[in-house]
Structure 1
């Protein structure tokens, strides 16, 4: 068509001078050009458009009325206009037009902002002096878009890190991207036409997985699998593959696209984690687990040398595992303190963050220590802290390198996994050790407990059996009066005392001996290869060590203990019997006056049996109401008249007869019956007082002894109030005697109980004043109405000037504070006269009367002054 156009133009003469008029003879071809599929644009010698058909209008999105007669630059994208102008100028100057006779793709920017593409073919003709260009432009926008899409897809396929292979209908490879080539080491020429199952197969390959790659073309599903494939050089590569079938127009599988990821590193880490976790689950020793981590890492990360260090409680490095480092290197690190400039590991532990040193020789962190790694070829070190869940740095994990370098991304992944595994192993180790401590060691003192003690005794017995002449001594220690410390000063003071006792006991034995705490205030010492004389020497040292005062909260406490000793094999060859015999001997030492030791003898078992029987009998008597109260008169010093009575418990048993109070009260304290006895005495004394008053036998007041345990019981005020209400006794007729230990109790609850009891109107009397820890500040600040001068001072008034001085001081203190002073244990007339001379308010003792049964007290009153009872009744009324 273009040729015909050019020929007709030449035959019929020049074109019209009006650019908007069609070229001469164009009318003949006009309908053809107008209906052409491709756009046609003709420009004249002035670069003005003289023809612009309908297809061109559609392609450019512009009306021809806006184009004809205007410069063709209007159709050229703005960014390409400079190049277009240079090409036009070049052509006008006679240069070769490279576009004529060829087809090029050109962009077309439409007024609506969209871009189209056209395949442009250019023809040139001369008419006279004028050169005309006819451009035939085919719309190739969709083709360009598809080509660009294919290009982008090829970029995705070829530039991705994922290996891509495509197989055809025959299951053979028709395409492999660059990543596939790099992953397996084959060139594209070597890959094309191969069956994947044959190409990637090896000794450990799962053939079923590779067969799935080949057979997938028979199905329509997407498949995912993991398997071991092999590099061209024979290396194993773990692969994760996703295979998708591609269907043709008929719905038949024509291709299969397989995308593969190299998961070798992930699989190696998973294998490492599995092996380590299995070792932890088997409860392997921490050192074994740490060595396993190092060996596994060095196997999958060639060129690295691993080291794991622990950080102890004193912030010092302790080698745990470094199988590839010389022994002398680890030994040099042992005990090194962490710090801000202590190599890589010490600094990482100090900072709590990784430390990378790429050149040990020049890095200042290694300046003081570089003579250790450099001679053995270690040039770089990267250390990371091992942190536990609580944030504590428990150790470090380090990579050493024989080249000056830092960690790779693969090494970073490895270390991240390893520090978590190490933290898990350490936490499991510490938890196991903690459980062992709970199972075998006393949590308060850190000494072996009963379970550990049993194993230790069995071990010593086994050792002694191999040496027939060898002996073992068991020392059973029970602290004297420890319960009073807890009751008066509180359990925190008692705990502090126990910790110090444990330390002192440990200091008195040899390194191979065992000191154990059974519980409470009981300790057992096991002395291996020890005869009776040596055991006695140890017992004496222990008692002397206990006698040294212990500073607890600023107060000096003196402790004493009773020790029972049993010997292997003379006393028994059985562990339990040895402990039982030592316990029996301890009670014998306690009964002998405490602060002493006794060796076991067979006769002691009878005494222990008797004690157990007496405990049962005491409980039975208390439940059956067989205990009694006797009442000892308290006499006014000036008039000799009755002040009141003190209620004292008495126990007469059908089998044991009259049991002394010193014996059964101590027994009640040991077996936990003392509170029950105290409550019974309180209720019985109130009942008896009410009965006397109902009979017209008036006694002003009754005193009842209570133990420190009562005042640690917040229910005591309610118990006292109930006893008074049940008997109808006024509170001022009741006096409760408390020990000095209660006065020194710093527990707020105990002091509140004392105040609450006094608030009922009940009088409080401080018993045995001068023998304990009382201070004047306690007496002056607490609601005490009476103090009792202990009988130990009264007994020695005639023979001991110090006793006379103490008695005088106590009486004067009471007088100055407005307190009643009652002297106990008055047995002689000189004692009475001395106390009268000091104007002691009241006295009690055998000089006046022993403790009497209720009916005997009435008789005693009548004998002393027949009119006194009536007088007392009148006074009370």
Structure 2
């Protein structure tokens, strides 16, 4: 009997059966009212039957589904056949507590006593729906991820492959199912023992992660990282293996690039080699890209380092191009300090003046990024050129990011090496090669000449004349500026293949390659002339000269040290010949050098044994001719060398570091002699002692002066200390403090050789100067030189106006004395009155002088 044939009596009979059914049963009548709602339906809807029976069935339908449901109700009311009868559908059921369950609903239609009833049998399929939804979501995870996923069975065969695996390796799903990964993905460089782990073999319950090289269907090499997770059955046996695979080709390519570049940097490869390596590696892993790397130099111009795929003329055209706001991609990126992308070189205004370079090569776009160092400085650019109008891909962006770090590291390492080389081989003041670099260069050129490359070599050893005077008078900053200018002028006089170096101090050496004596003479003459041209130092025009010694290879020696020594010897010969000259080395010069060495040692010995003497030259009052004082002058008589003139042994004393000791000796001896004369009844007003700038750089000088006066029992006014203008111009605060401390002892300070140096009149007021000495060079010209008379007159008037005593040195003739007396010069000294005399001779000279009636010359 079918549902369509039941009667009301039968319905009542089957009611208890439907009540006990495990599925929900809902029966509605022709008015769409619920007439049966069993216990399973109560549980499913969460409603009591008394709240449902007799009410419209729409009570049981979710809000969002009522529209379709009401349409079915209308058809039922009008007797139309319901299209859902005989079908099974899944419907959501919303409970009063807001929870939702799902039911599988099948609908039956029957006629009872002429009336139409619908019976809905609803099975709870909530768990099934949830499992199906979970499976759907899992399928999304598997198929929509960018990681490739395969599942193998216990026999290592692929039973599942997701979409990413198919896309990554190029196989269809049909081609994959049943295949063994160790066979499918293997290739020339694959480690087969690692690849077997993809199937989860011999790992028990452990997961494993591996990296290896695999191959796609087309044979392309891929670096992959795979994680294999075994799935075991209840007996602990392998049932399946789930393998998740990532394509790490780009990552590994970047790692390989970084490793190779870092190895090149560690090997100390030069910057061009490292830059070329970066460009070639990038072009290999980024097909279609053309790379270039440029440096930005100190003048803010572009300097090509590497562009292996660009022709040489391209780099040559860029070389030296100033960076700016519209200088292609690279020049603009360097100027802005940010990446510059030009997707169409032909039309972009940044490339307007330069597009004739890339377009004929088929390069249509350029993306350039600045290479920025740790200090924020843009040191270069790294560029990608494209053969189509485009910009970089995400892979290109990641690649460039890595390369910029590598390029910055390479440039910083290059600059560090260059700085170390600069410190090791170049003079920090002038930038010229130093002694070490000079030695290497000479050795290298000797080897080249011996191998037949070049006709010979000349070494020019230069020493600036009177450079010490510049340091002493204008200070070391002026001296440094002079050295820098000398180095510049020397470079201008030689060829690019020659080398100018600074040994230290004021000594320079020039290497002239492929040079014979005639050419060396010509270059030496040019250098002497170039250095003699005035130059501005601290707003003052100076002239300098140099003494040059020349040695030749191979004629003078085959040894580097001997060549330098011979050139040095020749330089001293040039200096002794009058300075501002050059001399070639001659073996006879060695005898002069040896004599100078012996004389230097003899001077040390004589000073230690007290064999130096002081002679005293009288200073007379310009008004009445009375004795004003004495100037103590050192003299040296040696048993072997005889009477050595001060012009020679004072230079030796400076060279051997004895000048300070000689000054202290003269100070003590001069004070002792004056005290002895006074004790013997000879009235000596005062004595003047010359001290060098080295004495005033000794902070103990005030103590030394005080001790000398105390030992002799003299008052400070019995001593005058003569200083040079170099001391007045010394910028060292300690030196000036020492001068002030000496003056505060009550000792008179006299400025020697006034007018010949570089001091200014304002300097006279900065130190406690009481006396100035007019240099004898002005006195010699008084009888014939109008300029000399003008200078002498000016100096005397300056002294008078400032209340300073003026001492005229070198007075030799009566007309000179009368001229100076006419100017009311305070004090005079010179051969007209007396030379510097030893103590006994001076005593005789004083005793022989008649009382002064008027100021007459004394022979």
TM > 0.5 between the two? yes
How far residue 584 of structure 1 moved from its aligned partner, in angstroms, is 0.8
Which whole-Å deviations, capped at 9, do the CAs of 1:504-557 have from their partners, x for residues lacking one? 222233444332222221112233454444433432332222111111121111
SS at match of 2:255: helix
Single out whichever of 297-306 and 260-269 deviates more from structure 2.
297-306
Q: How does 1:748-767 map to 2 (within 5 A)?
A: 750-751=735-736, 753-767=738-752
Which whole-Å deviations, capped at 9, do the CAs of 1:40-87 have from their partners, x for residues lacking one? 555555555566555555544556666566554444433333343334
Equivalent residue number for residue 205 of structure 1: 190
Which of 464, 469, 473 aligns to 1:484? It is 469
Q: How does 1:315-394 map to 2 (within 5 A)?
A: 315-394=300-379
Equivalent residue number for residue 136 of structure 2: 151
SS at match of 1:201: coil
Aligned: 1:161 with 2:159: no
Equivalent residue number for residue 754 of structure 2: 769
Pair 190,839 (structure 1): closer, same or farther in 2 beyond 3 Å:
same
Quote the RMSD (CA, aligned, Å): 3.8
May I ask how many residue pairs the two structures share in their alignment?
852
Q: Distance in 2 between matches of 1:728 and 1:107?
A: 128
Equivalent residue number for residue 222 of structure 1: 207
Q: Distance in 1 between matches of 2:139 and 2:605?
A: 100
Aligned: 1:841 with 2:826: yes
Which of 282, 286, 300 aligns to 1:301? It is 286
Aligned: 1:672 with 2:672: no
TM-score under structure 2 length normalisation: 0.88
Which whole-Å deviations, capped at 9, do the CAs of 1:455-506 have from their partners, x for residues lacking one? 4444554565577995543221100121232233233322221121122222
Q: Distance in 1 between matches of 2:369 and 2:613?
A: 77
Equivalent residue number for residue 794 of structure 1: 779
Structure 2 stretches of 5 or more lacking a match? 852-859
Aligned: 1:253 with 2:238: yes
SS at match of 1:344: helix
Equivalent residue number for residue 854 of structure 2: none
How far residue 444 of structure 1 moved from its aligned partner, in angstroms, is 2.9
Q: Distance in 2 between matches of 1:621 and 1:116?
A: 122
Equivalent residue number for residue 267 of structure 1: 252
Aligned: 1:637 with 2:622: yes
Aligned: 1:519 with 2:504: yes
Asked if 2 retains the 8 angstrom alpha-carbon contact of 1:484 and 1:708, the reply is: no
Pair 54,533 (structure 1): closer, same or farther in 2 beyond 3 Å:
same
How far residue 118 of structure 1 moved from its aligned partner, in angstroms, is 3.5
Equivalent residue number for residue 20 of structure 1: none
Asked if 1 retains the 8 angstrom alpha-carbon contact of 2:323 and 2:332, the reply is: yes
Aligned: 1:237 with 2:222: yes
Asked if 2 retains the 8 angstrom alpha-carbon contact of 1:738 and 1:766, the reply is: yes
Equivalent residue number for residue 825 of structure 1: 810
Q: Distance in 2 between matches of 1:44 and 1:715?
A: 130
Asked if 1 retains the 8 angstrom alpha-carbon contact of 2:200 and 2:229, the reply is: no
Pair 693,86 (structure 1): closer, same or farther in 2 beyond 3 Å:
farther
Pair 664,98 (structure 1): closer, same or farther in 2 beyond 3 Å:
farther
Pair 781,63 (structure 1): closer, same or farther in 2 beyond 3 Å:
farther
Asked if 2 retains the 8 angstrom alpha-carbon contact of 1:181 and 1:188, the reply is: yes
Pair 472,328 (structure 1): closer, same or farther in 2 beyond 3 Å:
closer
Asked if 1 retains the 8 angstrom alpha-carbon contact of 2:31 and 2:77, the reply is: no
Q: Distance in 2 between matches of 1:229 and 1:538?
A: 70
Aligned: 1:502 with 2:487: yes
Equivalent residue number for residue 703 of structure 1: 688
Q: Distance in 2 between matches of 1:430 and 1:303?
A: 32
Equivalent residue number for residue 548 of structure 1: 533
Pair 108,857 (structure 1): closer, same or farther in 2 beyond 3 Å:
farther
Equivalent residue number for residue 727 of structure 2: 742
Equivalent residue number for residue 173 of structure 1: 158
Equivalent residue number for residue 545 of structure 2: 560
SS at match of 1:216: coil
Pair 466,378 (structure 1): closer, same or farther in 2 beyond 3 Å:
closer
How far residue 703 of structure 1 moved from its aligned partner, in angstroms, is 3.1
How far residue 357 of structure 1 moved from its aligned partner, in angstroms, is 2.9
Asked if 2 retains the 8 angstrom alpha-carbon contact of 1:317 and 1:335, the reply is: yes
Pair 256,742 (structure 1): closer, same or farther in 2 beyond 3 Å:
same
Asked if 2 retains the 8 angstrom alpha-carbon contact of 1:338 and 1:346, the reply is: yes
Q: Distance in 2 between matches of 1:691 and 1:86?
A: 146
Asked if 2 retains the 8 angstrom alpha-carbon contact of 1:379 and 1:401, the reply is: yes
Q: Distance in 2 between matches of 1:634 and 1:448?
A: 52
Single out whichever of 732-741 and 196-205 deviates more from structure 2.
732-741
Pair 585,735 (structure 1): closer, same or farther in 2 beyond 3 Å:
same
Which whole-Å deviations, capped at 9, do the CAs of 1:7-64 have from their partners, x for residues lacking one? 8871178xxxxxxxxxx6798569x54xx65555555555555665555555445566
Q: Distance in 2 between matches of 1:293 and 1:244?
A: 39
Which whole-Å deviations, capped at 9, do the CAs of 1:110-164 have from their partners, x for residues lacking one? 4444443344444555555765555444444333333322221211111111111
Q: Distance in 2 between matches of 1:220 and 1:589?
A: 94
Asked if 1 retains the 8 angstrom alpha-carbon contact of 2:448 and 2:454, the reply is: no
Equivalent residue number for residue 660 of structure 1: 645
Which of 5, 8, 11 aligns to 1:10? It is 8
Q: Distance in 2 between matches of 1:125 and 1:673?
A: 138
Pair 725,186 (structure 1): closer, same or farther in 2 beyond 3 Å:
farther
Q: Distance in 2 between matches of 1:579 and 1:507?
A: 22
Q: Distance in 1 between matches of 2:50 and 2:848?
A: 153
Equivalent residue number for residue 16 of structure 1: none
Which whole-Å deviations, capped at 9, do the CAs of 1:267-309 have from their partners, x for residues lacking one? 2233333344444444445444444444433333333333444
TM-score under structure 1 length normalisation: 0.86
Which whole-Å deviations, capped at 9, do the CAs of 1:386-436 have from their partners, x for residues lacking one? 344444444443333333333222333333333444444444444444444
Which whole-Å deviations, capped at 9, do the CAs of 1:804-829 have from their partners, x for residues lacking one? 43333222211111111122234555
Which of 571, 574, 586 aligns to 1:589? It is 574
Q: Distance in 1 between matches of 2:244 and 2:650?
A: 90
SS at match of 1:381: strand
Asked if 2 retains the 8 angstrom alpha-carbon contact of 1:8 and 1:25, the reply is: no
Q: Distance in 2 between matches of 1:109 and 1:75?
A: 8
Single out whichever of 712-721 and 163-172 deviates more from structure 2.
712-721
Q: Distance in 2 between matches of 1:694 and 1:53?
A: 151
How far residue 98 of structure 1 moved from its aligned partner, in angstroms, is 4.4
Q: Distance in 2 between matches of 1:852 and 1:615?
A: 25
Q: How does 1:60-139 map to 2 (within 5 A)?
A: 60-61=45-46, 71-125=56-110, 132-139=117-124
Which whole-Å deviations, capped at 9, do the CAs of 1:564-621 have from their partners, x for residues lacking one? 2223344333332221111012112223332222232222212212222333343455
Q: Distance in 2 between matches of 1:799 and 1:368?
A: 71
Structure 1 stretches of 5 or more lacking a match? 14-23, 867-877
Q: Distance in 1 between matches of 2:606 and 2:102?
A: 117
How far residue 106 of structure 1 moved from its aligned partner, in angstroms, is 3.0
Asked if 1 retains the 8 angstrom alpha-carbon contact of 2:200 and 2:241, the reply is: no
Asked if 2 retains the 8 angstrom alpha-carbon contact of 1:9 and 1:25, the reply is: no
Single out whichever of 370-379 and 769-778 deviates more from structure 2.
370-379
Which whole-Å deviations, capped at 9, do the CAs of 1:625-646 have from their partners, x for residues lacking one? 6555555443333344444443
Pair 855,128 (structure 1): closer, same or farther in 2 beyond 3 Å:
farther
Pair 544,366 (structure 1): closer, same or farther in 2 beyond 3 Å:
closer
